[in-house]
Amino acid sequence: MLARARAKLAAAGLLERVRLVETDARRMALDERFRLAFIALNTFMHFTSLEAQTQALERIHGHLVPGGLLALDLFNPHPDLLDDADGRLIHDFTRPGPDEGAVTSRFHSQRVDPATQTLEISFFYDEVGADGLLRRTVAPFDLHYFSRREVELLLERSGFAVEDVYGSHELDPYWAGSPKLIVVAARR
């Protein structure tokens, strides 16, 4: 992903203005402070334990200037959105690539554990190459989903003051049926 980002930045003439860093947010130790940290596309949900969540937020807090903002882009766990989390296999897409003459299909399966607020997800990538051979790649992972109040308390406990909560990338007001839970908090 960093190689792709670097190539896109170079193509846009922005490589000198951006520094890409690969690190674990729980142990991040950069010599800079920032005005904004943004954790996009459910990435924070990969921290499945309270300890990991707290470690990441404390490290991010330490890398923000006073008053600096943190934006968390999270999945909103509305029950209707968890309907297909029963282990069934769902076809997501079939399209050409990634290699010349290949076709790739992606499927996913997920189960929800409400007791631990965990989504157990597996992606299945079936690539049929130009040679006609099928290659399957399986990518399993867990996500912890948050309620609004839970993420607000976690942020406050980690030295942040929640400023806004949105329900979409268009910054619509948050409500129980929103597709997203986007929380913006300032470093206290």
Domains and CATH numbers, the chain: 39-75+147-188 (3.40.50.150), 79-144 (2.20.25.110)
For the entire predicted model, the pTM comes to 0.90
Taking each continuous run of H as one helix and of E as one strand, the counts in the chain are 3, 8
Q: Are 134 and 126 in contact (CB under 8 A)?
A: yes
Query: DSSP letters of 159-175?
Result: TEEEEEEESSTT-PBP-
d(CA 158, CA 71): 14
Sign (positive/negative) of CA torsion 72, 152, 118, 108? negative
Per-residue pLDDT at 125: 98
Q: Are 42 and 74 in contact (CB under 8 A)?
A: yes
Give pLDDT tens digits along the chain (188 positions).
999 999 999 999 999 999 899 999 999 999 999 999 999 999 999 999 999 999 999 999 999 999 999 999 999 998 877 788 999 999 999 999 999 999 999 999 999 999 999 999 999 999 999 999 999 999 999 999 999 999 999 999 999 999 999 999 999 999 999 999 999 999 99
Per-residue pLDDT at 79: 82
Per-residue pLDDT at 29: 96
Per-residue pLDDT at 83: 80
Per-residue pLDDT at 168: 98
Per-residue pLDDT at 16: 94
- HSE, side-chain direction, 13 A CA sphere, residue 57: 28
